[in-house]
Structure 1
Amino acid sequence: MLHEPVSSTNVRSVGYSQAERVLEVAFHSGGLYRYDNVPADVHAALMSAPSKGGFLARFIKGHYPYRPISG
């Protein structure tokens, strides 16, 4: 999955597959997480959020099933 670098103190890059509704988030700490069943509008809102880490904490973590891929 192609990742787009983002400007964030915690998040390094974000990848998204609209067909699979899968969001991948890579952190500066080295962790890579996959979130399932994420709608395209949530991905778009994440990418436009002024704080990527804050958006993740408030609207994605705990709302969508996830698993670590590495880290």
Structure 2
Amino acid sequence: MKRYPVKSCNIKSVGYDEIKKTLEIEFKLLAIHHYFDVTIDEFVLLMKAPNIESHYLDYVYSKYYFDVS
């Protein structure tokens, strides 16, 4: 999955697999979270958010099931 670098204190990059509906967040502490059943609309909102980390905490972290790799 291709990840795109983002400007954030803790998040290094974000990727999305449209077929699997999986959002991938790479943190600067080298952890990678995979969020499942995420819509393309949510990915777009996250990438366009003025503060990506706040949007992540408010709308992704608390809403979607995830796995850590």
The number of residues matched between the two structures is 69
TM-score (norm 2): 0.95
1:7 aligns with 2:7: yes
2:7 and 2:53 map into 1 onto residues whose CA distance is: 10
In the alignment, residue 9 of structure 1 is paired with which amino acid? C
**In the aligned structure 2, how far is the partner of 1:4 from the partner of 1:18?**
15
Alignment map for 1:1-71 (pairs within 5 Å)? 1-69=1-69
Measured in 1, the distance between the counterparts of 2:50 and 2:28 equals: 17
Where structure 2 has 5 or more consecutive residues not aligned to the other structure, the ranges are none
> After the TM superposition, which segments of 4 or more aligned residues of structure 1 sit over 6 Å from their partners?
none
Instruction: Return 5+ residue gaps in structure 1 as ranges.
Output: none
C-alpha distance in 2, partners of 1:28/1:52?
14
CA distance in 1, matches of 2:67, 2:52: 19
TM-score (norm 1): 0.92
Identity %: 29
Alpha-carbon distance, 1:51 to partner: 1.1
